[in-house]
Amino acid sequence: MLRGFHTAGAGMMANQRYQDSMSNNMSNVMTPGYKQDRAAFRAFPEMLIRNMEEERVPTSNGLNIPFNNRVGSINTGMYMQEDVPLFEQGDVRDTGMNTDVALTNGNLPDETGFLFFTVQNQDGDVSYTRNGNFTVDGEGFLTTNNGNYVLDDAGNPIQTGGEEFEVQSNGQVVSPFDNSLLGVAYHPNANDFVKQGDDLYNLEGDVAPVDARAADGVGFDVSQGQLEWSNVDPQHTMSEMMRSYRMFEMNQQVVRMFDQSAELAANQIGRLR
């Protein structure tokens, strides 16, 4: 009975975490460049159940022979291991804002490869983003809405001097102050990136990203006045939230049944009369 209690409890916790993940996706439906998270579930190891007994042999010394019978296996529940971003191109929409820039994937030689803008985070290190909702700070530098410098292909901040600048399809930024290329990084395995907040990704793998313009077979397009939208599917996400809620309720009912059975065993069956 206790095994079933813990199995159902593990199902409740897994579905609660999944519900939180889906809620976060829904809250970022309107966030430019956001990549929805997919939940990765794992099962706890199965246990092999055996019935262990002894058989008394009718001999003068009363010999007992131990034996066991295989009953079968039992699953000990599941858990949500992690959230994995789904790196797929979102819809590109017109905004009419001169500081908005959309990065569109072209030909990518690797199935798991992906492209990112390069930015300088608050610690001074290089991070990566797909959110091209840029702005210009008081010193004339191109930044993200969170104040991170947008970098060029040499890793330097881009100074436009104001919002009157042009971004060409190859990422060339043309302004009276600067004529540099937007930093566009390519990595063959986007799963090596993890979310760090503020629409930024940090690399956790051993292979460093490369300049997309120098990578063989990599194509992309940069468009000004447009934004790549979130790749969250609201309808699918809502249906998953409803399914997860129903699974949570089912496990909750199982836990309640085990709790009632335990109460009956403790208060009724085990009562001394």
pLDDT of 266 over the 90 cut: no
- Check if the beta carbon of residue 22 is closer than 8 Å to that of residue 237: yes
The structure tokens 């095994």 sit at 3
Domain extent at residue 74: 2-83+233-269
**Does 241 lie in the same domain as 222?**
no
Does this model's pTM top 0.85? My answer is no
Residue 141 is given by DSSP the state B
Tokens of 253: 């009912």
Kindly report, residue by residue over 4-20, the tens digit of the pLDDT: 667 788 888 888 999 99
Q: What is the pLDDT of residues 178-212, one digit of tens each?
A: 889 999 999 999 999 999 988 999 999 888 999 99
What does the pLDDT read at residue 42?
Answer: 77
Per-residue pLDDT, averaged over 94-100, amounts to 94
Q: Do residues 224 and 110 share a domain?
A: yes
What is the Cα–Cα distance from 231 to 208, expressed in whole angstroms? Answer: 25
In terms of domains, do 30 and 60 share one? Answer: yes
**97 and 47 assigned to the same domain:** no
Please give the average per-residue pLDDT across 113-118, as a whole number. 96
> Hey, what are 97's tokens?
């804002």
Check whether residue 205 and residue 79 sit in a common domain: no
What does the DSSP assignment read for 233-254?
A: -HHHHHHHHHHHHHHHHHHHHH
- Confidence (pLDDT) at 82: 82
pLDDT at residue 41 in the model:
79
160 and 261 share one domain:
no
**Per-residue pLDDT, 74:** 64
Q: Where are the beta strands (DSSP E) in 58-163?
A: 63-74, 78-85, 92-94, 101-105, 114-120, 126-129, 134-136, 142-144, 149-150
| pLDDT score of 272 more than 60 | no
Structure tokens at 127: 């991070």
Per the prediction, the chain carries an average pLDDT of 87
Q: Looking at the 3D structure of the chain, how many domains does it have? A: 2
The CB density around residue 126, as the number of other CB atoms within 10 Å, is: 17
